[in-house]
Amino acid sequence: MSAMPRIPALISRAGAASAVTAATLAATVLVPGLAPAAQAATAGEQALKVAAAKQGSPYQYGATGPNRFDCSGLTLYSFKKVGKTLPRTAASQYNATRHLSGSSRQTGDLVFFHSGSNVYHVGIYAGNNKIWHAPKPGTSVRLEKIWTNSVWYGRVK
């Protein structure tokens, strides 16, 4: 069913005083992209954009930016830029987040890689089972598919 036949009915019911509101509503029916955003981006989504903007920055153990990063240095830097404080290491960051199930993860949440109870790596969830991270020496910040099921998720408070 097309939205077009409903538009005149919407406008006539709205009356002259609400013509602008009805026109706006009609425009959002015809062009869904014109609908206003439901809410502002979360801190995690904002931090994700910061991390993505660092694509290509070289990995350096212990580095926290702005031009070189290790894994937890990238997450620390990205969240600091949006007003959130995280501890320095991946394991400490895991302990400082609200833990989530994989089915509850959202873009901007942290993805913690672990072996047993030892957290050894962290990245920022980008959706579609991918993360932004600083992988290891000799590489640079990049978007990459999550390569293991040995991950935990955390949301920065």
Q: Which of 68, 105, 121, 142 is catalytic?
A: 121
71 is catalytic: yes
CA distance 60 to 103: 32
CA distance 26 to 11: 8
133 is catalytic: yes
Write out the two tokens for 2. Answer: 């097309």
List the one residue out of 118, 151, 126, 1 whose CA is nearest residue 55: 126
| Residue carrying the six token digits 């955390």 | 154
114 is catalytic: no
H or E element, residue 155: strand 151-155
Q: Which of 43, 51, 71, 124 is catalytic?
A: 71
Q: Which of 54, 68, 105, 133 is catalytic?
A: 133
Q: Which residues contact 134 (CB under 8 A, 6 or more apart)?
A: 57, 59, 69, 70, 71, 73, 74, 140, 141
Task: Report, as residue numbers or ranges, the catalytic residues.
Answer: 71, 121, 133
